[in-house]
Amino acid sequence: MLYVWIKKVLYGMLQAALFFSKLLSDMLIGWGFMIYLYDQCVANKIIKWSQSSIPWHVDNLKILHMDKMM
């Protein structure tokens, strides 16, 4: 049996999805977003008096925002 240590996560493994989720949530918190309490894969922020939401699943993101000026 062969055991190896890797320095980076491999795409397709559970650790890769967890690493991406943690990295993304830390980055969004740094930008002023708040992680939704009941769903840890949704971030919200008020921008120009309108709510911006970013939900994600694994590595797919959707950005939602409505600007009243448009």
DSSP letters spanning the chain = ------SSPPTTSHHHHHHHHHHHHHHHHHTT-EE-SS-TTEEEEEETTEEEEEEEETTEE--EE--TT-
Q: In the chain, how long is the greatest CA-to-CA distance?
A: 63
pLDDT at 35 over 90: yes
Tokens 């709510």, located at residue: 51
pTM of the model: 0.72
Contact yes or no for 34/45 (Cβ under 8 A): yes
Predicted confidence at residue 59, as pLDDT, reads 73
Domain residue spans in the chain? 34-70
